Structure formats: structure tokens, C-alpha cells
Amino acid sequence: MLDPRNCERLEDPEFRLGQAAVATRGLTKIFPGVVANDSIDFEVLRGEIHALLGENGSGKTTLCKSLTGLYQIDAGQIYVDGQRKSFSNPADAFAAGIFMVHQHFSLVDTLTVAENVVLGWSANPHWRYNAKEVEARVEAAARRFSIDLDPRAQVSSLTIGQKQKVELLKALYRGAKTLILDEPTTVLAPQEADTLFQTLRHMADDGNSVIFISHKLNEVAEICDHVTVLRMGKMVGSRDLRSADIDAKALAQLMVGRDITLQRKTTPPPDPNVDPILVVRNISVRSDAGVYLLKNVNLEVRPGEILGVAGVAGNGQLALAETIAGLRTVESGDITIGGKPMELGNTRAAIKMGVAYIPEDRLGTGLAPGLRVSHNVVLKSYRNKTHSFGPFTRRRVAQVQSENILTNYKVKGSASSLIRQLSGGNAQKILLGRELSSDPTLLIVATPTRGLDVSSMEHVRELITAAAANGLPVVLLSEDLGELMDLADRIAVICGGEIQGVVDPTAASIDEIGLLMMGQRGGE
């Protein structure tokens, strides 16, 4: 039998429609002043893992929302198994077997795996709920797709990787034939990502199809059978990854139309005999519920050093960044910056000591999306007499500072632009520009390239390495181990709020770091 994944995309459109699990012809979606999708012909074959790539604003999200019924298209057609479909809402897409698993899970922690899988849905609306019967059905579905889950386990007790498996199982149990996965490995350890890839391949071998959206191009080259690239709302290319020698560099070039070189740190590590700028000693922090977020954490960072912090999401790295930035109340321990003790739990004190902070939530915490660029660049300095007189800000000073950041950091926008009108990459560059232009003593950066396209990622990494080359100590939190391996002088691995070890990225392997991220010291 002919394997459709090995079929070439023939010129006969009827043949392609017959082979495709999902296809579009001339799909167009227009928003006021913007053509988000411009006459897109797209197809995913049965049994195929198909990557959908593009820079931020290229139209990927719009296309996927059109395929899942969240948007109604303005022109063109959608086909499922060769049949033309019209989706007026997500329920129509579900009925056609198209499901999307988003980055942020939609699970109820207080319910079991089985209860989450069937919550709000039933194959038989007249069927009365029976816990044991549901658990048996969910367990059978998990075995069928080689998903290792206990249907009786409470979701709150699961790891991030296991929760993602619940989302996959939920879609497959409900009859998904085409899965759209949005950045599925962002919060996973390497070993968990490998397990996910095995599950996806098993799904594809079973005749299902996967649309895989990711900025991790090495993963795309590893797991996907085919790739389609969008640029400025148009489809610019489609490649068979199984029959062609295409690596991450080639994919990046296809996405942006030029060669991309992701910055690596080239300056040597600092002398270990040099006094550290940041010293964290025996810091312990509890959540509002009394659970330890950090427990006896000790770290040092020297001038010009990039200290990476690796960990699976939710294991304390965010609490560490917030504690150094003065956003968390500390139970015990102390922090010194430049040899001076910092007043803990006081953000203004941290700012006065020169702590620059790039939070992972750039729009919710780092910037005010409803304000203009010029207002955002003075958010931390408006009390300074050079920026204000009495209760009023000096508009001209803010304007000049904004224009300098726009120019120096290559931001597409104007001083009068609202932050929410900017792309993710441009908003991140505004945030970096504001913090780095404040002449900081220490830079804390949390997941700086999350959700950015390769072009924006390239520039953000250049800014961070340039800051370190100029002597600025940097604490870099990232869920991308490849990024940490490229940029960090040392990597501190955190699990359950405790530092599991500090490793040299030139000597340690990704597998070793991944085991530490999962709390397994020395291969325990």
C-alpha cells in the first residue's frame, strides 16, 4: 500500500485533495487594514506530521484559528478528507476531527485524568456518567496511542509533561483525526519532549495527522515529514523533509529570506577569583499556600558572566527571578549586589541598586500594553528629576529616549505606538532597551525568546551577549536548553525549588541536564 507521507505533492489538485486529511484552497482572512491570510493553498496528508512555520505576524495563528472554527474565512475553501467544509464555530471543526492543543493547558487540577478527558463532552449525550466505565475507556484509549497515564490520577499531581499527555489524550479520545499543536515542547524537559515525539509518531502511523507549530527548528527537522512556511500572510514554500537534506539553518532562511546566525557567547568565562556582583545565600521562599517555591538557594554571578538557570516550568526559576527583582517576600536568607545587602521584597530598592528585570510575561508584568511606547520607556524612571517636574513627566525627554531605543534596538514602530500594537519581538526589544539603557548593575532575563520568530530571536540574543561582553552580569532563565548551552558560562539546574547542580555547558550533555531538571542527580 502506498504510504501517503512518501507521495510527492503532484500538480493535480484533485489528487492532492484526495490524499489530504485537511486542505485549503485560496483561503483568505482579512482584518481591518490587514490581509492576515492571502489566498493560501495548504494541505496535510493523512498519517503526516506537518510543520507550519513563519515569523510572528506571518499568519500561522490566523490559519489555525480558521481551521478550528474560531475565525470565519472571507474567501476560499476548507476541505477535510476531500470534502468541502464550512466551520461557523469550533464545534463544527471538532465534528470534522480537527482539534488544537494550545500552549496553555485547559485542565481542571482537582479532577482526575479520566474526568478531564470527558469533561463537557460525551459521545452519547443520553449516557449516564459511570466513573469506572469512563476510566476503563480512557485507559484503553491511552494504551492504543501508547500514552502512559493513570486515568485515576489527579491532574494536580502530574508533571507538566504528563499534563500535556492528558491534553493529547483528550483530543484523541474525542475522535481527533488532525491535531494542531502550538509550541508543544516549550515547557518540557528533553526526555519529556522525546516521549512526546514518540507519541506523535505513533499517532501518525495510526493514520492521524499533526500540524506542528514551533520556533525550535531543530525539532521540526527531527520530527516532521513536511514543512510549509508562511511570510506576511502568504505561503512562500513547502518542502518534503524526508526526501530533502534540510536542516534548521535552511528552515530559518526559508522563513525570513536570509541567513540567520543565532548568537553564541564568544567571550571567555570570568575569572572565578573575581568578586561576584550578585550573591544569593540560603534563600527560601514560600507561596501564599505555604509551599516552598525556593529552598536554601545559593548562587553567585560575576562581572560579564551569563549564569543560565534551567528547569521544567513551575520548579522555582520564576520565583528566583522575582525574588532577586524584589517582587517576593523572603522567608530566610540574604542577597547582596556589588557587596551591599539588598532590602528583600522591595522592588524600588532593587531598582535603586541597579537590578534590570525582563520578566517572562512581557506584556502583563514588564510593559503596560495600553500605554504608548514613550510612556513605557519611563515607567521605572519617571520619579527621576530629569524625567519629571512635580507630578508631570517631561514629554520631550520621554520622546527622545523612546526614539533612541527605537533606533538602537531596531524596533518597528513609533514613540506614539501603543505597546499592544507591536509584535512580540518588537515589544521585547522595547523592554530590553528600557532596561539596558538604565545603566544597570545586574540583568535578570526570563525566557527572553519565548514566542519570538528566528529573526527577533537573533537580535535579542545579540543584545544579551553584547551586554555581558561589556561586563554586565546576567542571570538568564530559559526553557530552551539549546539557548542556555549557546549563551551561558555556567548553568544552574533547579527542580522543586532546589538547585540540583551547577554545570559547565561545554562539558555537560543535554541529557545530563535534562535528568537534573527532573530531580535525578547523578542518574539516580
The residue to which cell 483528550 is assigned: 170
Beta-bridge partner residues of 240: 226
> Computed from CA positions of residues 402, 407, 411, 414, in that sequence, does the dihedral angle turn out positive or negative?
positive
Over residues 105-125, the pLDDT tens digits come to 778 888 999 888 888 776 666
The Cα diameter of the chain in Å comes to 79
Distance, CA of 326 to CA of 345 (rounded, Å): 4
Give the model's pLDDT for residue 49. Answer: 94
Cross-sheet strand order for the sheet of 98-101: 98-101, 178-182, 209-213, 49-54, 226-231, 234-240
Residues 307 and 299: beta-carbon distance below 8 Å = yes
Give the model's pLDDT for residue 3. Answer: 43
Helix or strand or coil: residue 476?
Answer: strand
Residues 419 and 371: beta-carbon distance below 8 Å = yes
Residues 73 and 54: beta-carbon distance below 8 Å = no
Give the model's pLDDT for residue 490. Answer: 95
DSSP per-residue codes, 338-349: TTEE--TT-HHH
Residues 350 and 325: beta-carbon distance below 8 Å = yes
DSSP state of 505: T
Query: Residue 274 class from Cβ within 10 Å (0-12 exposed, 13-18 middle, 19+ buried)?
Result: exposed
Beta strand spans in 278-404 (E): 278-286, 292-301, 306-310, 332-337, 340-341, 355-358, 388-389, 392-393
Residues 147 and 165: beta-carbon distance below 8 Å = yes
Give the model's pLDDT for residue 14. Answer: 56
| CB atoms closer than 10 angstroms to residue 302 | 20
Beta-carbon contacts of 214 under 8 Å, excluding residues fewer than 6 positions away, are: 51, 53, 183, 184, 185, 220
Helix or strand or coil: residue 222?
Answer: helix
Beta-bridge partner residues of 357: 444
Give the model's pLDDT for residue 259. Answer: 60
The per-residue pLDDT string of the chain (524 residues; one tens digit each, 9 = 90 and over) reads 334 344 444 445 555 666 789 999 999 999 877 788 999 999 999 999 999 988 777 888 889 999 999 999 999 999 998 889 999 898 899 889 999 887 667 788 889 998 888 887 766 665 677 788 888 888 888 888 778 888 888 888 877 777 878 888 888 888 889 999 887 876 666 777 788 888 888 888 888 899 998 877 888 888 899 999 898 888 988 888 877 667 777 777 777 666 656 667 777 888 888 999 999 999 999 988 788 999 999 999 999 999 999 988 778 888 999 999 999 999 999 999 999 999 999 999 999 999 999 998 787 788 998 888 988 888 877 666 666 565 566 778 788 888 998 888 888 778 888 888 777 778 888 998 999 988 899 999 998 887 676 777 888 888 899 999 999 999 999 877 888 988 999 999 999 899 999 999 988 888 888 888 887 765 44
All structural domains of the chain, each given as residue ranges with its CATH number in brackets, are: 1-97+216-260 (3.40.50.300), 278-523 (3.40.50.300)
Give the model's pLDDT for residue 400. Answer: 86
Give the model's pLDDT for residue 524. Answer: 45
Give the model's pLDDT for residue 295. Answer: 94
Give the model's pLDDT for residue 260. Answer: 57
Cell (9 digits) for 158: 502530574
Left if phi > 0, otherwise alpha if psi is -120 to 50, otherwise beta: which for 440?
A: beta
Give the model's pLDDT for residue 16. Answer: 64
Give the model's pLDDT for residue 261. Answer: 61
Give the model's pLDDT for residue 240. Answer: 85
